[in-house]
Amino acid sequence: MSQAQPAIATIPSSPAVERVPQSIPGVKHLIAVASGKGGVGKSTTTTNLALAFAAEGARVGILDADLYGPSQPRMLGLTGLPQVVEGRMQPLVGYGIQTMSIGFLIDDESPVIWRGPMITQALARLLNETDWQQLDYLIIDMPPGTGDIHLTMAQRMPVSGAVIVTTPQDIALLDARKGLKMFQKVNIPVLGIIENMSTHLCSQCGHEEHIFGAGGALRMAEQYGSEMLGELPLDIRIRIGADDGRPILVADPQGALAQTYRDIARKIAARLSTTVQTTQPIPTITIA
């Protein structure tokens, strides 16, 4: 008597994504910052990258697309409800960065318990009903994963390119690869990879240690023909700045960490200018 074969679940392939994006008034370029996995410092990186672009002379905004866990209000020290003028929400401005987040519209401890269609509708309204003021770059802080919000962004929004944030740890790289391949599948250019928490710097003695492993993001970039944009250390000053609403680009604008973020911003601008076909000029950022 033959033994019964174990059941094998069949996972349906992802549907083909037809991109029918609409232009966003007041915005030249949308850049998605994604990770695939939570806890790798994606939102902190988004905030400091936006400030780095602004330090280079660009007009910048942030759309906090992580609707289940909005972080940008806290990181930029912003509170209060957006004003509504002629039916359009006015972005709150922190350190010169125009910002819109669901976190402005709900209490800090109120969970967002919405199904996919409600989430995608809310995201579209935050983007399209905000009165963005002549932005060169709108940086999108994406949620973890590759779900409804990501598909909505790919289908309906004119995303110029994506940046992947990961740590060197193998378990983080697994999800980062999924995020990168998702953008490739929906024909959104991947502008490069940022390795966060690349090393740990001891605040007492300055000793440097690769506590999450070494070289993971570089290997991933080489594997997928992408660019390694930069490495950022696990530094307590970055964490304190995010929690206190005073990012490192504001707290120490001339320091080494701020310079690293600015170097990454320049590389992203350069990549964007060579990968995106557009009639709108890329703001000039001088690469030293």
CA neighbor of 140 nearest in space, from 205, 217, 218, 45: 45
pTM attached to this predicted model: 0.85
Mean pLDDT, rounded, of the chain: 85
215 Cβ partners below 8 Å, 6+ apart? Answer: 168
Return the higher-pLDDT residue of 282 and 149: 149
CA distances from 95 to 64, 235, 237 (A): 16, 22, 18
C-alpha span between 153 and 31 (Å, rounded): 11
CA atoms within 13 A on the CB side of 199: 11
The pLDDT of residue 192: 95
Q: Which pairing describes strands 92-94 and 88-89: parallel, antiparallel, or unpaired?
A: unpaired
Structure tokens belonging to residue 230: 């930069």
Residues 3-39 have pLDDT tens digits of 544 444 444 455 555 555 668 999 999 999 998 778 8
Residues 132-166 have pLDDT tens digits of 999 999 999 998 877 778 888 777 788 999 999 99
Burial track 196-220 (b if 16+ CB lie within 10 A, e otherwise): bbbbbeeeeeeeeeeebbeebbeeb
